Structure 1
């Protein structure tokens, strides 16, 4: 009897061990069977979804989105979820928001997601799945600015300094001139993204350290933009006898101005621009004069205020009030003379503003130009998209939007929510406008 009981206990023990080991194997198999399904590679402005398969329903999981920027800083966003079934879909809009609301890790309050140095570079966005703080599965998607392997061409022809980004079908693609802002550097990233969407995009420089260009943003000949448009047409980088214009900030002001002066330009996109000509910018002159010239004559402009209290406060609260007060205190004759004659633009016009723009209040600075469009019953469509809680930095989606409100010494305004919405919603409208749709 004693031997029987010992044998029975041994059998029970063996069965228990087998059950335990089998359960471990099954648990391991379940973990191994979890799949995170998503595209292998996407363009940076391309929405995508991810689906997690073979989960345990009604169990809590942690989803982590992680990426490393080009300065080596880690960015993270995470959320908990409880799947109702074995499969859990992260829809496109939710996936993009997870990316846009990533934060630097460890949290650095003034760290923003830096622009890429090499436009041909790419980086991985990792998707990690955890359960009970244990890693269950991880995967990565490659995000890049260029999928189409865009060809480029440097242009250095007198005062025409630029870089052409050729569309995949460049012989039949529409042309567009891309204008930078007061930072004075070619807007190559935006030109690349336009080329990805089928445009021959020529990013030019209109002032800066070149022998044939003005050193400062003072009395810049707007004929430089006309030359760029003619170059696209003459070199068969346009599908017709007109090209589009895309400008950012001060370049948006220039885009509206060039579009109103030269009939080779058709559709115009002006990002956070002014609708009136503002005073130029020079480190060597208190009152440098107009930003622009036409036919060797300076264009009428709104002079800056000589109120140094307002100017000194701008570094703490933003320059928006500095420019807005200059417009408000100018007399009607000065405003009328400085307002860009946007009604002469021979195409559709898209203007984009952030309602919380602290650099300059483009919403208000566009009002005189909008008034002209309404008074003259502009024959083509025009729209002014104003995004609440967005600031001056409205860029190509989908990038993290944390800490964009202040970059360096400058106040740009906006918050994560407003910037994320503005980035995502304005971009399709840009493409449609330049296509004439």
Structure 2
């Protein structure tokens, strides 16, 4: 009799100790909580927590968004709930998927395009990007996930905070968009330039305005009545934009800053060198020489750096590597293309991805720094990131390893590895703002 009782008790204990499927847990339902809330700015971190799971339950976390063209981006990571059936992505490590380890924003920066070689570009910054966060039972690949998640939530990520004004600019020859922070100012003025993508790219300028910079996202080719191509530019156009920005009543003049990536990187170096009112330049993945065509200023022409098309590398999946196509500025016949930054009175911040596959960014930055040192200058900072590619964007933009290059006419590889690149974007964003504030904030109007 006693033996039978003990057997029944052991069986009952075993039954009660089994992990109970979520759907069988009376009064319990999984939920996703977002802090500080379901809406935030795009460059702000978000705390993601899941509750209502079984103790130690294995789950797949998925994030996805659809961009303005309907292109889908998705990410997933494998997690295990704690003993109370909860997950906190600030502390819980991913066990696999698109990333591993404790990465609170990993679901965001690891978003990958369903269509290969697609880059996420936000054109309409007055609207948000909706990132869907879903939880599924078990560790599963994307094609194994059921239609219905255990829990889901949506994070609306905005590019303009309340009170920021967006004003299209068509003043004289200047074509761009002005972003004015809320308040009376005065604010540091910054011109924002992108590269071969063309048009007016607004997302970085709008995010900078949230942090107290009065920014002008400036187009210089490929839009409106501007040049169709980037092959011949005149610096007087950029000078007109500088003067337009300086004259704004809320700008902390007399000097303004400039930030540029890729072709925009060498343009901001030229602006700081030849235009006295540009006093701080951030060159991201830029060159120390003028590139992609002649740059005219008054009676002076800065030739474009040469290229060697035969150095193009053809990779798998119809990708090409153009990192060695642009010739070395120090080669014979190229030195007239080098921007004489040693003549500048302003300050420079060079940002380098050491795995840049667009061109030899580490070499260009080294040459620029050596030129400044040779001339007794210390008006520069250099930030260099290992395993980082060309397209360094604001924080939490998905890593883009390869995408269509407008000037090349096909997809090119940009370089970098996902996790180091994403962490570099977060790190350098704060350093860019510190640099610009340092050199622009404490000015007096003339």
- What TM-score, normalized by structure 1, do the two folds share? 0.80
Equivalent in the alignment of 1:414: 416
Unaligned runs of at least 5 residues, structure 1 = 1-22, 281-289
**CA shift for structure 1 position 379:** 4.2
Question: Which of 133, 141, 150 is the matching residue for 2:164?
Answer: 150
Q: Which deviations, in whole Å up to 9, do the C-alpha atoms of 1:61-86 show, x marking residues without a partner? A: 43333333331525131312131345
**Aligned equivalent of 1:309:** 310
State the partner residue of 1:354. 353
CA gap of 1:309–1:64, structure 2 versus 1, over 3 A, is: closer
CA RMSD of aligned residues (A): 3.0
Deviation at 1:202, TM superposition (A): 0.9
How far 1:154 sits from its partner (Å)? Answer: 2.3
1:102 aligned to which of 86, 111, 135:
111
Conservation of the 8 A alpha-carbon contact between 1:177 and 1:225: no
Is the alpha carbon distance of 1:128 and 1:278 closer, same or farther for their aligned partners in structure 2, counting shifts above 3 Å?
A: closer
Moved more, 78-87 or 420-429: 78-87
SS state at 2:105 partner: helix
Please point out which of 111, 124, 132 is paired with 2:130: 124
Shift of 1:199: 1.0
> Which residue in 2 is equivalent to 1:321?
324
Q: Which has the larger radius of gyration?
A: 1
1:199-227 per-residue CA deviation (whole Å, 9 max, x = no partner) reads 1111222334655x544324422122222
Which one has the bigger helix percentage?
Answer: 1
2:25 partner SS: helix
CA distance in 2 between partners of 1:326 and 1:144 (Å): 41
The Cα shift of 1:387 comes to: 2.2
Q: Residue in 2 aligned with 1:330? A: 332
Determine the C-alpha separation between the residues in 2 that align with 1:196 and 1:351: 23
- Over residues 257-282 of structure 1, what are the superposed CA-to-partner deviations in whole Å (9 max), with x where a residue is unaligned? 110122211221111110112351xx
Residues 69 and 113 of structure 1 are in contact (CA less than 8 Å); yes or no, is this contact kept in structure 2? no
Deviation at 1:242, TM superposition (A): 0.8
* 1:249 corresponds to: 262
Measure, in 1, the Cα distance between the counterparts of 2:398 and 2:122: 13
Instruction: Select the residue among 60, 65, 77 that pairs with 1:67.
Output: 65
- CA displacement 1:235-272 (0-9 Å, x = unmatched): 22411311111112111101011101222112211111
User: Is 1:220 aligned with 2:233?
Assistant: yes
2:179 matched residue in structure 1: 165
2: CA distance between counterparts of 1:379 and 1:424? 26
1:51 aligns with 2:49: yes
Partner SS state of residue 272, structure 2: helix
> How many residues are matched?
392
Residues 173, 200 of structure 1: 8 Å contact kept: yes
2:143 match: none
- Structure 1 window deviating more from structure 2 (39-48 vs 145-154): it is 145-154
The yes-or-no answer on 1:296 pairing with 2:295 is no
Aligned: 1:366 with 2:375 = no
The 3 A distance-change label for structure 1 pair 313 and 53 is closer
- Distance in 2 (CA, whole Å) between partners of 1:313 and 1:196 is 41
Report if aligned partners of 1:66, 1:127 keep a CA contact under 8 Å in 2: yes
2:432 aligned with 1:423: no
Separation in structure 2 between the aligned mates of residue 276 and residue 421 of structure 1, nearest angstrom:
28
Matches of 2:172 and 2:191, distance apart in 1 = 17
Conservation of the 8 A alpha-carbon contact between 1:276 and 1:340:
yes
- Taking the aligned partners of 1:73 and 1:279, their CA distance within structure 2 comes to 33
Taking the aligned partners of 1:172 and 1:79, their CA distance within structure 2 comes to: 48
Query: Partners of 2:204 and 2:278 in 1: how far apart?
Result: 19
Taking structure 1 as reference, are residues 116 and 302 closer, same or farther at Cα in structure 2, changes over 3 Å only? closer
Distance in 2 between residues matched to 1:155 and 1:310, nearest whole Å: 40
